[in-house]
Amino acid sequence: MSLIYKRSSALFNEAKEYIPGGVNSPVRAFNAVGGDPVYVKSAKGAYLQTEDGHEIIDYIASWGPMILGHAFEPVVTAVQEAASKGTSYGMPTALETEIAKLAVSMAPHIDQIRMVNSGTEACMSAVRLARGFTGRDKIVKFAGCYHGHSDSFLIQAGSGAVTFGSPNSPGVTAGTAKDTLLASYNNLAHVEELFVNNPEQIACIIIEPIAGNMGCIVPQDGFLEGLRHLCDQHGALLIFDEVMTGFRLARGGAQETTGVRADIVTYGKVIGGGLPVGAFAARQEIMNHLAPLGPVYQAGTLSGNPLAMSAGLAMLTHLNNHPEVYDDLAQKTEQLHLGIQDVLIEKGIAHQINRYSSMMSVHFCDEPVIDFETAVAGNNDWFKKYFHGLLERGIYLPPSAFESYFLNNALSEKDITRTIQATREVVASW
């Protein structure tokens, strides 16, 4: 029986009167897939409770942070206890040091970490720090990678910006754009050419080590290692944007799973346990350039907010004490991948499925999806049908072909089996 979301549609129509486009983040508007967004009333474990009275399986996990499922009890308890003492002080707390110490112990190659309020702020601050440390202006980013909505990054973004067909956002100045050099993901020769053409001008490379904003894109063998070598060769810094992957792929994030050292790492999502948070980290030599020690300014009244720090500490403590979570998640993701793949092969439907740990994406195309260009070559009409077909059957996927799935460990084998069966039903008539 197909689920109907009439109340969600009514709520969306009302929201459009007071909120631009009816949403506070563009991808929520369903422009990429058509129809009206689903409104959530509450969530628990692997399930979302909608305003329409339906319980649906969640495969976005709030875009990553709900790695242990929604309303994870230790996190909820920590937030409740923190809130009872006050919600914001604008002053230092011992809690900030406690979570910083834990994060530094879990992730390799970092000595210090600075808490901020979002992934956008973390990436913006990391690039400013890299420029201040190197004394250079230009940065290299990759088409299809999304590092938030700071001006420097909207020079051809993935995810929401591509969904709305405007990779170069109005409001970004020509002066800003000239200092951002675009490269193709998984194309080392292209990056090398940029260094040759801009000698001693590039401050840093910033990259999602496992991309999640053009679908899940996995780095090819030698690609990240090659970027590390180029940065060393030319005196630039390598920034890993681990806002999605940090503490999700492993205790040490992508640095641990790939074995590649980054100079600066940005974090978010998981370390807030679902609350707004971001962070950037590096070795002490680099972090010493930050105010109040150095000349690179960065500040925020809500940075290190006690609610977010309490939630993050509870989340990281659990992950640190239970590393088996990562194996469990990887196995569940593999099960989902192989099950969907078997159905699509059986039906003769052209597809590519990319997977890395607990991230994956389904692309309806013949050729391997290795970069932004191959990601946009997929059959978006098929994706729309697939998305809505599963939604009607109580399964929520990312509402854009340019987003990764994020699995949570509350998902059961029954949930995954149900998702595979729903896939079979949806594509039966294709």
> 328-342 in b/e burial notation, b at 16+ Cβ within 10 A?
ebbebbebbbebbbe
Classify the phi-psi angles of 301: left when phi > 0, otherwise alpha if psi is within -120 to 50, otherwise beta.
Answer: alpha
One of 58, 241, 263, 371 is an active-site residue; which one? 241
Instruction: Provide the strand spans (E) within 112-161.
Output: 112-116, 138-142
Beta-sheet strand order (sheet of 138-142): 112-116, 278-282, 264-268, 237-241, 202-207, 138-142, 180-183
Q: Is 328 a catalytic residue?
A: no
Residue count (the chain): 430
Count the Cβ atoms, other than its own, within 10 Å of residue 25: 10
Q: Is 18 a catalytic residue?
A: no
One of 5, 47, 59, 146 is an active-site residue; which one? 146
Q: Is 146 a catalytic residue?
A: yes
Count the Cβ atoms, other than its own, within 10 Å of residue 104: 14
Cβ neighbourhood burial of 279 (10 Å; 0-12, 13-18, 19+) = buried
One of 138, 141, 269, 332 is an active-site residue; which one? 269
CB proximity list for 189: less than 8 A, separation 6 or greater: none
Distance separating alpha carbons of residues 336 and 355, to the nearest angstrom: 10
Phi, psi (degrees; rounded to nearest 5) at 132:
-65, -35
Distance separating alpha carbons of residues 298 and 75, to the nearest angstrom: 28
**Residues acting as catalytic residues:** 146, 241, 269
